[in-house]
């Protein structure tokens, strides 16, 4: 099995045509299937706080260890994705295996009525890499305690809002679901150019 970097299924929240990739130390990302796999980049701890990866960044919602402990093999997560200029679709991620260092998963897309749109793509990410996607600059990001309403229930959580020029990226993290944000919205000016919401998750039969 090829060890695909996390950037094979997540990219920066403000999409650019024809570009796939991520910046683990530069801000939260969302799951999708990009057209190509960029070079791996690695996050590092810089203090005794396991949630702080850079001194000029806010602490992340979860540590690498918390993400590792919450990574359940055979767990399937479905997210409704709406992108400007395209039909809404559902991104599906299924966890395959895990060890102390990293997790292995596969992702694919479906139409909103359940028709498979892409073949599964497999990837591997370290827990520190996954944590790094939620590391955001303190001078450009605000954090609020919120309640998050999702199709699968209401959750206590944190909302990270990052402002970069005319772009505003907002990420909602459910405190009881360590890992990726359960909701994301990216605005440029008054227009929402991308959003996604976790609509379901379940444990699937393994093997």
Domain limits for position 30: 6-203
Q: What local confidence, expressed as pLDDT, does residue 33 receive? A: 40
- Find the CATH number of the domain harbouring 158: 2.50.20
Q: Are 78 and 189 in contact (CB under 8 A)?
A: no
Which residues of the chain fall below pLDDT 70?
1-47, 206-207
- The number of domains in the chain is 1
Q: What local confidence, expressed as pLDDT, does residue 206 receive? A: 64
Q: What local confidence, expressed as pLDDT, does residue 47 receive? A: 59
* C-alpha separations of 198 from 7, 83, 91, 92, 172 in Å: 19, 15, 9, 10, 10
101 within a domain of the structure (yes/no) = yes
3-state secondary structure (DSSP) of residue 205: coil
145 within a domain of the structure (yes/no) = yes
Q: What local confidence, expressed as pLDDT, does residue 150 receive? A: 97
Q: What local confidence, expressed as pLDDT, does residue 48 receive? A: 82
Q: What local confidence, expressed as pLDDT, does residue 89 receive? A: 98
For residues 12 and 83, give the distance between their C-alpha atoms in angstroms, rounded to a whole number: 13
Q: What's the residue count for the chain? A: 207
75 within a domain of the structure (yes/no) = yes
Quote the tokens at residue 201.
């998750």
Contacts by 166-170, CB closer than 8 A, 24 or more apart: 167/14, 169/13, 169/14, 169/27, 169/28
1 within a domain of the structure (yes/no) = no
Short-list 172, 199, 202, 169, CA closest to 80: 199
Sign (positive or negative) of CA dihedral 93, 106, 104, 54: negative
Short-list 123, 100, 116, 144, CA closest to 40: 123
HEC-encoded secondary structure of 98-113:
ECCCEEEEEEEEEECC
Q: What local confidence, expressed as pLDDT, does residue 205 receive? A: 81
174 within a domain of the structure (yes/no) = yes
50 within a domain of the structure (yes/no) = yes
Q: Are 89 and 81 in contact (CB under 8 A)?
A: yes
């Amino acid at each position: 099995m090829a060890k695909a970097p996390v950037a094979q299924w997540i990219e920066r929240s403000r999409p650019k045509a024809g570009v796939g990739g991520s910046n683990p130390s530069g801000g939260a990302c969302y799951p999708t299937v990009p057209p190509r796999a960029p070079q791996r980049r690695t996050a590092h701890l810089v203090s005794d706080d396991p949630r702080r990866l850079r001194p000029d960044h806010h602490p992340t919602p979860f540590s690498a260890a918390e993400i590792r402990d919450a990574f359940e093999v055979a767990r399937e997560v479905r997210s409704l994705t709406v992108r400007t200029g395209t039909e809404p679709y559902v991104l599906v991620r299924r966890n395959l295996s895990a060890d102390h260092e990293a997790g292995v998963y596969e992702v694919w897309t479906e139409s909103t009525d359940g028709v498979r749109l892409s073949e599964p793509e497999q990837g591997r990410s370290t827990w520190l890499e996954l944590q790094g996607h939620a590391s955001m600059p303190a001078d450009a990001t605000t954090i609020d305690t919120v309640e998050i309403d999702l199709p699968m229930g209401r959750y206590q959580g944190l909302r990270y809002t990052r402002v970069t020029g005319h772009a505003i990226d907002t990420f909602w993290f459910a405190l009881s679901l360590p890992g990726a944000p359960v909701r994301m919205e990216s605005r440029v000016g008054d227009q929402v150019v991308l959003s996604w919401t976790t609509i379901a998750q379940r444990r699937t039969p393994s093997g």
